[in-house]
Structure 1
């Protein structure tokens, strides 16, 4: 039997199908290339899944999960502590001094008006001491106005506008006072109008702007204080989650190895408990010092400031009674004297009732109360003399000097006011020192928190690795 001859040089086999290229291939070239690219990673994923399905793989995955959880909690705490520490420094060194400068501006402007008006009715020419006090008050106000904007940013537009307005009006006021003094030395009656207008400018325009500036800077301090004393919920929740995972891992490891305790995991748990207790304690101390104590001290500070301003304005309008020869504070545009005394005693009561203020200032409180009583006596004598037309005696009760230049002998309104003002200045300074100490307590509570907690979390991760190592060696 002869074999069939080849056709066109190609050997054919009738028992085999001829291989031909498909007219429509199942995958195009791009698909084949993509499958080639992902074949390696897919194989690695399958191998990793196969490894994780084994007991050594589960132990390794557990170690990685615990490491990530503990490390994330520690890193979060370190970041939050660093940010809080920086913002507490800003509050202590920028925002609070800005509020203090606004307070100094407010009280210095009021005192300058009081001294200028009082010197206007003194017997003879104004004393050098009175002029020095007036210029010193203006200098303090000028410096404080500049310091009030040092800690501002683009969001404090209203604060900057108030400072610009005060700085613009202050030379106008000083010019009117100097004009009044010049006319007073020449015995020109127009001096009274200049002095009254200058005092009205201060009391009706400049001081309200300074009061608003003091209020806005106080709000800024309060807002930052509340933000910085709120609990750090994110790091605390991170530590709680890491601690829960660690406890669950110990339970699973006990079920796996039938060993109830793992020394490495127990050490890591103890370290996390210490870190969590440290974080919670620091948050409680910061909240207590910065929120509760600060707020309880800020209220007397604000009341004492308002009482001092009211006393200075009452002294100013009391002096204007002599200038205008009218026997009531209300007729000169001032607050009532009895209203001022009530406000003063309420502020002193608030200071004495404050829990965290120094008791060493009780003498200043006693001095202020006694001086206020003497001032009230001198004021009523002044009103009685003005009502009866005894102008010379009224001047003597106000300034403490008779027309002949001799001391009055009795306690004058000037002497009593100076004691009240000096005592309030001491109490306000003491209150501010206490408030700053509370902010510093918050800074100290957060100073070593980030680094200490970070070190504890690193040690906890090392303990987890050391604790899982013997279990892994059992399968190697």
Structure 2
């Protein structure tokens, strides 16, 4: 036995054994402690205390393929898709799918038609309250300017100071023209540069015209012959500059009314085809439902089909009524409106030419040519109005009386103009002045040019007002045809959707 292994008894032996055991354990644990310290150095500082957790690296994620990451990302949506598809291939799934498709198609068709009808109703209302009054204001501007020139020229021929009545009529015509110009501008879009420029030119030239007229009157009262030149210059400015601009303005606004009316009265083919498609889908769905359930008829689907057919019939009737009122009726009313307005302006200009010939003491050959053209234009306009009234079942006897009055006044004016021409040719100036200015008739004597023209102008004015009333009535009829269509179609569509789900509900309950 070696001395180091000698056994000691007692406390000294126990202490020695403890020391030897401790030294052996320290010697065996030293390599493991150093390895643990090396591993701990590699672990991040904030995770060294998690000695029970398994710390992993992101290297595994970086080495994963694109397909694996995509599959992981869309795993949940793909799972839901598989579940939905698995449900749709079953009979209850097919019933639900058919009902959803029908509901979407019915709602889309009904909403589209409802929006289209609502927009058409608002645009027709805008046409009735804004565009058409703007056109009528342009008409009043046109006729008022021409009438003011006619009255000013006639008053200038009268001996001495013109009468208070003539002066009041002239002022009223000028005032009405200025107000009409403002009303015309109120309904014009700022982007319509041509129309705004026409109104600006007219409003700028009217004070120039009235200034020339007042200068002519002042010189006439003072006995200065230069007054004739001022009046001729004023009439030339009106007829060559102001009236052509007013005629262009009236033409543009009338065309705008006609274009809007034609556009708003066309059938609503696209929304109507949507309603027809929804009704067709319902028929196909009932056939599929019969194939799946072996039941020929479904009450809910039948009610939905009936509701959609009611919507189709309602919309078709509304479109037909709007088209008939806007296309046929409006065209029949607008044709005499345009021709009557043009013929009235021609009559006023012929009257002005007749009077100017008297003022200038010149030949009336040119005025005779324009007078004949004016008479023909008035006759054509009266024929157009009479023809339009013949197609109108609601034509009143008052309109026919106005046509008769206009024809009679035109015949009297033609006869008086011949006598006026004869007096001017023979140098009978007092008789020519009487025929051109006197409006009071002597019992038993033929009518003068002034009296016959006043009757004709009054009759044409009343006929134009009747033609405008007819046009507005047709626009109003088109607007009335669109009333309640928007709300009714949307309500019928919602009821049809409810009917579809009520009809499919008993079939779904069979699988619960």
TM-score when normalising by structure 2: 0.85
| C-alpha deviation, 1:32, in angstroms | 4.8
User: Equivalent residue for 2:136?
Assistant: 100
**3-state SS of paired residue (2:267):** coil
Q: Could you tell me which of 226, 239, 246 is aligned with 1:190?
A: 226
Structure 1 residues 401 and 112, CA gap change in structure 2 (3 angstroms): closer
| C-alpha deviation, 1:386, in angstroms | 0.6
Q: In structure 1, what is the Cα distance between the partners aligned to 2:355 and 2:379?
A: 22
Say if 1:397 and 1:408, in contact at 8 Å, map to a contact too: no
Residue 208, structure 1, aligned to residue 244, structure 2: yes
Q: In structure 2, what is the Cα distance between the partners aligned to 1:329 and 1:349?
A: 28
Instruction: Note the 1:108-123 alignment, pairs <5 A.
Output: 108-123=144-159
User: Equivalent residue for 1:312?
Assistant: 348
Q: Could you tell me which of 193, 217, 220 is aligned with 1:181?
A: 217
| C-alpha deviation, 1:358, in angstroms | 2.7
Which is worse superposed, 149-158 or 262-271? 149-158
Instruction: Note the 1:323-334 alignment, pairs <5 A.
Output: 323-328=359-364, 330=366
User: Equivalent residue for 2:422?
Assistant: 384
Say if 1:317 and 1:329, in contact at 8 Å, map to a contact too: no
Q: In structure 2, what is the Cα distance between the partners aligned to 1:408 and 1:212?
A: 44
**3-state SS of paired residue (1:447):** coil
| C-alpha deviation, 1:124, in angstroms | 3.1
| C-alpha deviation, 1:123, in angstroms | 3.2
Q: In structure 2, what is the Cα distance between the partners aligned to 1:257 and 1:57?
A: 13
Q: In structure 2, what is the Cα distance between the partners aligned to 1:27 and 1:451?
A: 62
Kindly report structure 1 stretches of 4+ aligned residues shifted beyond 3 Å. 23-27, 29-34, 405-410
Residue 363, structure 1, aligned to residue 401, structure 2: yes
Q: In structure 2, what is the Cα distance between the partners aligned to 1:463 and 1:278?
A: 19
Q: Could you tell me which of 306, 328, 341 is aligned with 1:292?
A: 328
**Which one has a bigger Cα radius of gyration?**
2
Q: In structure 1, what is the Cα distance between the partners aligned to 2:442 and 2:406?
A: 26
Residue 155, structure 1, aligned to residue 174, structure 2: no
Q: In structure 1, what is the Cα distance between the partners aligned to 2:438 and 2:122?
A: 53
| C-alpha deviation, 1:30, in angstroms | 7.1
Say if 2:153 and 2:356, in contact at 8 Å, map to a contact too: yes
Q: Could you tell me which of 383, 386, 393 is aligned with 1:352?
A: 386
Q: Could you tell me which of 158, 170, 175 is aligned with 1:139?
A: 175
Say if 1:401 and 1:407, in contact at 8 Å, map to a contact too: no
Residue 339, structure 1, aligned to residue 392, structure 2: no
Say if 1:329 and 1:337, in contact at 8 Å, map to a contact too: no
Residue 89, structure 1, aligned to residue 125, structure 2: yes
Say if 1:396 and 1:408, in contact at 8 Å, map to a contact too: no
Q: Decide which structure has greater helix share.
A: 2
Say if 1:51 and 1:57, in contact at 8 Å, map to a contact too: yes
Q: In structure 2, what is the Cα distance between the partners aligned to 1:406 and 1:426?
A: 26
Residue 373, structure 1, aligned to residue 411, structure 2: yes
Q: Provide, for residues 360-407 of structure 1, a one-character-per-residue CA deviation record: whole Å limited to 9, x for no partner.
A: 3111111111011111111100100110111111111111279xx999
Residue 166, structure 1, aligned to residue 196, structure 2: no
Say if 2:146 and 2:243, in contact at 8 Å, map to a contact too: yes
| C-alpha deviation, 1:25, in angstroms | 8.3
Residue 450, structure 1, aligned to residue 450, structure 2: no
User: Equivalent residue for 1:274?
Assistant: 310
| C-alpha deviation, 1:254, in angstroms | 1.2
Q: Could you tell me which of 100, 103, 112 is aligned with 1:76?
A: 112
User: Equivalent residue for 1:67?
Assistant: 103
Q: Provide, for residues 149-185 of structure 1, a one-character-per-residue CA deviation record: whole Å limited to 9, x for no partner.
A: 1111133110000000000000000000000100111
User: Equivalent residue for 1:15?
Assistant: none
Say if 2:439 and 2:450, in contact at 8 Å, map to a contact too: no
User: Equivalent residue for 2:13?
Assistant: none
Q: In structure 1, what is the Cα distance between the partners aligned to 2:419 and 2:104?
A: 80
Which is worse superposed, 77-86 or 167-176? 77-86
Q: Could you tell me which of 207, 228, 235 is aligned with 2:271?
A: 235
Q: Could you tell me which of 408, 429, 433 is aligned with 2:469?
A: 433
Q: In structure 2, what is the Cα distance between the partners aligned to 1:226 and 1:398?
A: 44
Figure out how many residues of one structure are paired with residues of the other and give that number.
455
Q: In structure 1, what is the Cα distance between the partners aligned to 2:60 and 2:198?
A: 82
Say if 2:106 and 2:278, in contact at 8 Å, map to a contact too: yes
| C-alpha deviation, 1:436, in angstroms | 0.6
| C-alpha deviation, 1:31, in angstroms | 5.9
TM-score when normalising by structure 1: 0.91
| C-alpha deviation, 1:410, in angstroms | 3.2
Say if 2:364 and 2:424, in contact at 8 Å, map to a contact too: no
Q: In structure 2, what is the Cα distance between the partners aligned to 1:394 and 1:68?
A: 81
| C-alpha deviation, 1:412, in angstroms | 0.8
Q: In structure 2, what is the Cα distance between the partners aligned to 1:108 and 1:286?
A: 34
Which ranges of structure 2 fall in alignment gaps of 5 or more residues?
1-30, 33-56
Instruction: Note the 1:118-129 alignment, pairs <5 A.
Output: 118-129=154-165
Instruction: Note the 1:230-269 alignment, pairs <5 A.
Output: 230-269=266-305
Which ranges of structure 1 fall in alignment gaps of 5 or more residues?
1-7, 10-20
